Structure 1
Amino acid sequence: MATPASKDMTFYTPRLLLTLVSLVTAIAPYIADFNTTHVYNPLWPGHARFHNGQTMSMGAYLGLLTLYKTWVSSSNAVDDHLATPCVVGAAYYVTQASAYYYPGATAWDPPQSFGVGPVHLFVVVPMLSLVGVAFGMERWRVGRQGRGRGKGKAA
């Protein structure tokens, strides 16, 4: 028979392991890359910095998502079911948008040149909009289903 202490360890050990993974995932890319070998490397073109920034942001995004999902549980399984695929589906586009804010990052390297600034936003904004619309539509559908369950029942 399990003691209360062993139940606590069974509950916390996986969470502690995932916490360690999430912190390494979120922090290690910045330790490894936010220096003269990568972000501040004078030999790197701007577009390489862009993708390096996106990769570092992806580590932070996924690490924080893992930390959140490890320790915060939703009391509503429907909300959790909706939120998780939306947050995961948005990850690539959120981190792509963040990549413009890293030092020296550019959307294109010469000889390519486009008159529009952050041209990737022509992909980022529509894709994040689709995620938002999908989330909103599903929330509406589930809410409508929930309201409809009580109809027709005898009081």
Structure 2
Amino acid sequence: MPARSAVSPRTMTGKVLLSLVAVFTAVSPYLADWNDTHVLNPLWPAHAKFHNGQTMAMGTLLGLATLYFAWRRRGDAGSNLRAAITFAALYWVSQAAAILYPGAAYFDPQFDTPDMYIAGLPVQAVIEIVAFALIAGAALLARPAPPSETPASSN
């Protein structure tokens, strides 16, 4: 039976950061959207609620995929890490791009209040920046060590 290589503290920290992003990605859409501003908003048409449900489910699925690949022991560690990082980033990339669509707004007018901004940025943009920073940090920390840094195996 081949010996498992020990995970360095740096790699473990990166995996934990990816896991935090994954859990936040899986849960935050429900925290942000299962209320009167989105899913329960009587002014929203049924089809808009359908797509909001799609977005919430996608966050959960991408979060689960991130966790799976971040902690997967089979296969190439570098490929697993790249998959985890990709899944972790997809939700946040799609949210950042959403404002570019015609007629898109960060908030419906009745909910566009000063408390929805941090340092002049919509709260969504701030969350995206934090998520991207955590993913980038995780990518740097969790990457497999070059062969020269790999601990020698004992026989």
- Category of TM-score, reference length = shorter chain: 0.3 to 0.5
- Scaled by the length of structure 1, the TM-score of the pair is 0.43
- Scaled by the length of structure 2, the TM-score of the pair is 0.43
Larger relative contact order (Cα-Cα within 8 Å, sequence gap ≥ 6): 2
Higher share of residues assigned helix? 1
